[in-house]
Amino acid sequence: MAGGDELKLLGFWGSPFVLRARLALSFKGLSYEYVEEDLKNKSQLLLQSNPVHKKVPVLIHNGKPVCETKIIMQYLDEVYGPSLLPADPYDRAMARFWAAYIDDKLLGSLMMMSMGKTDEEKAEGRKQSSDAVETLERALKECSKGKPFFGGDSVGYVDVVLGGFVAWVHLIDRLTGLNVFDSSKTPLLAAWLESFGSLDAAMAVMPDVQRLVELSAR
């Protein structure tokens, strides 16, 4: 980190979107102060730093706030190397596309599958999540070019976006008895899940799954 830089991250441990920001900071090897927020009693710092949405994560860099997880990731790329986004403009566009797909398709279907109010809604969530995961399997094959990560040999932007859900994929598997990334159907994603989760930079910030189980039961 450049001399004199001050980084502070406002977050909540159980948020996958906060985890994305923490993963980006961790993979870049950046030192920062982490401030845990009580979302039922939000701090004045959070309310002042993000007056529009009043949500975490918020990155404060030298007193200036940056909000929304993917904007934080892109901001960190512009200020600090190495870049998570690819150098090639087309590859960068594709990385942003698949990151949006993860939030638009995978997240919604996983939420429906695990938190649906009826059996029919949960079944539809399982179908939609299966379709989304199979599409991501093809995306990983195309983007990785035979390497372990969406970014190739090393973790990239899409890996961190998807990596924010690693603990929650394990949580859903534990609660439902299903394998979201089933090695018999999506072997590349199953291998990715294991490889990403075993990286030191990921393990350093990954939340405990049992703690998430207890949170989900509240």
**Same domain assignment for residues 65 and 109:** no
In this structure, are residues 189 and 181 in contact, taking their beta carbons and an 8 Å threshold? yes
Domain span including residue 199: 89-217
Q: So what's the pLDDT on residue 209?
A: 96
In a domain, 1, yes or no: no
More confident residue, 70 or 3: 70
pLDDT at 6: 95
Residues 136 and 200 in one domain: yes
Q: 61 and 132: one domain?
A: no
The yes-or-no verdict on residue 136 having pLDDT over 60 is yes
Quick: pLDDT tens for 81-129.
889 999 999 999 999 999 999 999 999 999 898 888 899 998 999 999 9
**Residue type at 84 in one-letter notation:** L
- Whether 31 is covered by a domain: the verdict is yes
Residues 146 and 204 in one domain: yes
The CATH number for 62's domain is: 3.40.30.10
Residue 56 lies in a domain: yes
Q: Would you state the pLDDT for residue 2?
A: 47
pLDDT higher than threshold 60 for residue 3: no
116 and 22 in a single domain? The answer is: no
Q: Band the pLDDT of 216: cuts 50, 70, 90.
A: confident
User: How far apart, in whole angstroms, are the C-alpha atoms of residue 9 and residue 167?
Assistant: 20
Q: Are 74 and 93 found together in one domain?
A: no
Q: Which of 30, 45, 79 is the last residue of a domain?
A: 79
Task: State residue 215 phi and psi, 5-degree precision.
Answer: -65, -40
Residue 172, domain member (yes or no): yes
Tokens of 100: 């949006």
Our count of domains for the chain comes to 2
How does the average pLDDT of the chain come out, rounded? 95
Among 37, 56, 79, the domain-final residue is: 79
71 with 102, same domain? no
Residue 13 falls inside a structural domain: yes
Q: What is the pLDDT, as a whole number, of residue 158?
A: 98
pLDDT score, position 176: 85
What's the pLDDT tens digit per position in 152-170? Answer: 999 999 999 999 999 999 9
> Are residue 102 and residue 175 in the same domain, yes or no?
yes
Residues 101 and 198 in one domain: yes
Domain with residue 125: its CATH number is 1.20.1050.10
Compute the average pLDDT of residues 132-142: 97
Sign of the CA dihedral with 185 first, then 206, 55, and 115 last: positive
- Is 101 found in the same domain as 67? no
Question: What is the spatial order of strands in the sheet that 64-67 belongs to?
Answer: 33-36, 7-11, 58-61, 64-67
Q: Are 52 and 141 within one domain?
A: no
**126 & 30 share domain:** no
> Of the residues 57, 79, 101, which one is the last residue of a structural domain?
79
Assess if residue 128 is contained within a domain: yes
The pLDDT value given to residue 4: 65
